[in-house]
């Protein structure tokens, strides 16, 4: 089971990092939607950092949870139209 957890954690870390690279803010900065996009981006980046910290501490369960939460924040932002992503992206539910 540990190998499955580690594989999934590493996969989700990569997915979140790739998703952060692909997402481009689609709303103006100086608007409430711009603030919402900034919040989503900050949360996703923070959860990526947290997950990496947990992974370094050999805490695979919390690392996976962090990567998953971060990915959820970013994916929600995409679904709300706060971010543009490539049409052929397999990383988001569009």
- The domain ranges of the chain are 2-19+29-83
Residue 83 parent element (H or E): strand 83-84
pLDDT tens digits, one per residue of 80-93? 999 988 776 667 66
pLDDT tens digits, one per residue of 9-33? 999 999 999 999 999 999 999 999 9
Helices (H) and strands (E) in the chain, counts: 3, 2
What values do phi and psi take at 83, rounded to 5?
A: -130, 145
- Beta bridge mates, 24: 84
2-19+29-83, CATH topology level: Substrate Binding Domain Of Dnak; Chain:A; Domain 2 (1.20.1270)
Asked whether the whole model's pTM tops 0.85, one would answer: yes
């Amino acid at each position: 089971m540990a190998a499955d957890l580690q594989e999934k954690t590493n996969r989700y870390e990569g997915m979140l990092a790739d998703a952060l690279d692909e997402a481009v803010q689609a709303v103006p900065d100086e608007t409430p939607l711009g603030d919402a996009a900034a919040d989503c981006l900050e949360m996703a980046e923070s959860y990526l950092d947290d997950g990496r910290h947990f992974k370094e501490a050999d805490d695979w369960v919390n690392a996976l949870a962090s990567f998953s939460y971060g990915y959820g924040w970013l994916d929600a932002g995409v679904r709300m139209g706060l971010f543009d992503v490539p049409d052929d992206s397999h990383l988001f539910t569009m």
